[in-house]
Amino acid sequence: MAEFLIKAEGNKWMEALAKESWSTKNLTQEQFDARSEIGDIVVVRDDGHPWGKCECPPQYVVIKVPKMDWEKVKAVVEKGLYETRMITIDSREVEQQVMRKKHLYKVPSTLVDTAIKEKGVLEIKEEEMVGYINKRSLDVAKAITVSTITSAEFA
């Protein structure tokens, strides 16, 4: 079984922030696009993971998916969390894996709402979950597009 920790609450202060006031917060478009949003898949764990007392509503929900191979799903989701960048260490440029600020995978807010009604934990079938997961991608202009993933991505 795979258990998904899903963001159930958005980044309220960023959502309310007008673009004109970004400079006063030293916030760039890239940082704003990196904000957490409702439905972001934060992490995937195996069945029975001991979630912390803060990993519950109102901030998070858990979606349990019986018979889904959590290691395959984790590999896909975590691959989206990191990217290789050139960074400077001791005046040298080195290639380094760094965590993205944007979660690349998410589920619709309607699924999050359903989980909240079920006291923060919802169990669904694998084929349902695969249909719910969306993948974001960033184009050159930093515009976010969303596409539905396929079960083949987890094979």
pLDDT digits (tens, 9 = 90+) for 116-133: 999 999 999 988 888 888
pLDDT digits (tens, 9 = 90+) for 39-58: 988 888 999 999 999 999 99
How far is it, in rounded angstroms, from Cα 123 to Cα 115?
Answer: 9
User: Which distant-in-sequence residues (6+ apart) come within 8 Å of 101 by Cβ?
Assistant: 30, 31, 34
Q: What is the pLDDT of residue 136?
A: 63
Average pLDDT score over the chain: 77
Q: What is the residue extent of each domain of the chain? A: 2-154
pLDDT over 50 (residue 67):
yes
Residue 21: C-alpha distances to residues 17, 55, 109, 144 (Å) = 7, 31, 28, 22
pLDDT over 50 (residue 142):
no
- State which of 12-26, 99-113, 134-148 shows the largest mean pLDDT: 99-113
Lowest mean pLDDT of 112-116, 122-126, 132-136, 142-146, name the range. 142-146
Q: Which comes out higher in pLDDT, residue 53 or 20?
A: 53
How far is it, in rounded angstroms, from Cα 74 to Cα 110?
Answer: 23
